[in-house]
Amino acid sequence: MISKIDLCRDIALDVLKPSKRDLEHGLELHRDALVWDAYAFAPSGAIPPGYAATLAEESLGRDERTNLLEQYRQVDFLEDLDMRTEYQAAWQASGVDCVFQNAGVEGNAIPQLIKRLSRFTWLPDRYPELYQRVAFPDQVVAAHQANRRSLYLCTNGVPLPGDQYSVEESLYFLTVFRQLGVRMMHLTYNRRNLLGDGCAESADAGLSDLGRRVIAEMNRVGIIPDVAHSGQRTSLEAAECSSKPVVASHSVAGALSTHFRAKKPEVIRAIVKSGGYVGVCAINEFFRGTGKIDSFLDHIDHLAENYGYDHVAIGTDRGHFCGESKATARMPKSRAILEQYWPPAQDPFPTTEEMTASVAWTNWPLFTVGLVQRGHRDDDIRKIIGGNVLRVTRATLT
């Protein structure tokens, strides 16, 4: 039976239809280059049916159940030999050297952020044969040269204490998380917080005074401000006030998509002026068009042609799921978390399994092949698939 990885590859190749020359050159370029996903998820695993049933039946709180599920999906699944084999195959197929890993849940609550962060600081300690621990850009380069995989950590929110009696005390936790290895943070998720407006808010109020102080402190300690989920005005003002690069790590071009996660041209220009980049994400509903790999590549073309090769990356916002998802029992429903709220789409974009498969995370080498097909120079492709992320991470720590 054809594997999930091979099936996705065949679907993408059927869309691209590269010549033998372009295919071979693209794959060779991908193998040689530093490939750094600007925002993604390391491969994860399915919950065993028995354990899933236990978690579904026990009287657990929402957060307790979530933590147990994440612990298995993100770390413990590697004890299963079949899933570990698939996990290694997924990394190999992707050709990705480093992932900017989501290691902090949506929101600003420190107790919640640190739980997921602990799993991804523990992962390379528990499985050193699979990961090389990294905390600085040059360590990522060294891992690439040694043919080792690595994770560079980010969070989906800025850590803020619940009792904010002074700005200075609030800002101190940026240093704490920086010392724990976090190198990029979302200013907001979809909703409004103390720093600014999220992209799903009906209003577009922009960056708060505290948000400006936070960005200044991020610049000082060496953390990249990420506006991927921020509102248009908040994104614009963040880029304008930052003294170091600001990024939209996993977004799309607003000129080609009406989705609220897309960035408008004036926002992209401000990000470019800051020295940052827009990472094109592989979420079909966001990039739209045909919903397949060709339209995903259209966004990269558009950004490169209109804003320059130094300001484009690929942040797939994807991962690979090992095992069979059908093995996971249905968990009890709980109330939606406000920070994670996604409003109903005003202009829905139906997706198919074929669309999703064409931009699978394991198809990363075919993103490079597609760029070769479209006539981009090798040096420019190297920037898009990892070089720009390396440049910004270095500039942030300077």
pLDDT for 170 equals 86
Strand partners, 263: 253
- Residue found by looking up tokens 């005074």 in the block: 209
- Residue found by looking up tokens 């691209």 in the block: 16
Report the share of the chain in percent with pLDDT over 70.
Answer: 97
The pLDDT-based confidence of 326 (bands split at 50, 70, 90) is: low
* Domains, the chain, with CATH or none: 4-396 (3.20.20.140)
Backbone φ and ψ for 189, nearest 5 degrees, come out as -100, -140
The pLDDT-based confidence of 328 (bands split at 50, 70, 90) is: low
Rg (CA), the chain: 20
Residues 307-319 have pLDDT tens digits of 999 999 999 999 9
Q: 351: alpha, beta or left, given left = phi > 0 and alpha = psi -120 to 50?
A: beta
Greater confidence (164 vs 129) lies with 129
Q: Which helix (H) or strand (E) holds 314?
A: strand 312-314
Residues 179-229 have pLDDT tens digits of 999 999 999 999 999 999 999 998 999 999 999 999 999 999 999 999 999
pLDDT for 329 equals 57
- 277 with 313: CB under 8 angstroms? yes
- Residue found by looking up tokens 């803020």 in the block: 160
Region 56-76: mean pLDDT is: 88
The pLDDT-based confidence of 153 (bands split at 50, 70, 90) is: very high
Residue 53 has pLDDT above 90, yes or no: no
Name every residue whose Cβ is closer than 8 Å to that of residue 93 and which is 6 or more positions away in sequence: 5, 9, 362, 365
Residue 1 has pLDDT above 70, yes or no: no
Q: Which helix (H) or strand (E) holds 224?
A: strand 224-226
CA distances (Å), 323 to each of 3, 121, 123, in order?
11, 24, 19
Residues 25-51 have pLDDT tens digits of 999 999 999 999 999 999 999 998 888
pLDDT for 10 equals 98
Calculate the average pLDDT of the chain.
Answer: 94
**Parallel, antiparallel or unpaired: strands 36-40 and 182-186:** unpaired
Residue 332 has pLDDT above 80, yes or no: no
The pLDDT-based confidence of 365 (bands split at 50, 70, 90) is: very high
Region 275-294: mean pLDDT is: 98
Region 291-312: mean pLDDT is: 99
Backbone φ and ψ for 312, nearest 5 degrees, come out as -130, 140
Alpha-carbon distance of 239 to 44, in angstroms, equals 33
Region 107-134: mean pLDDT is: 94
Residue 327 has pLDDT above 60, yes or no: no
Is the full-model pTM beyond 0.85?
yes
Q: What is the identity of the amino acid at 344?
A: P
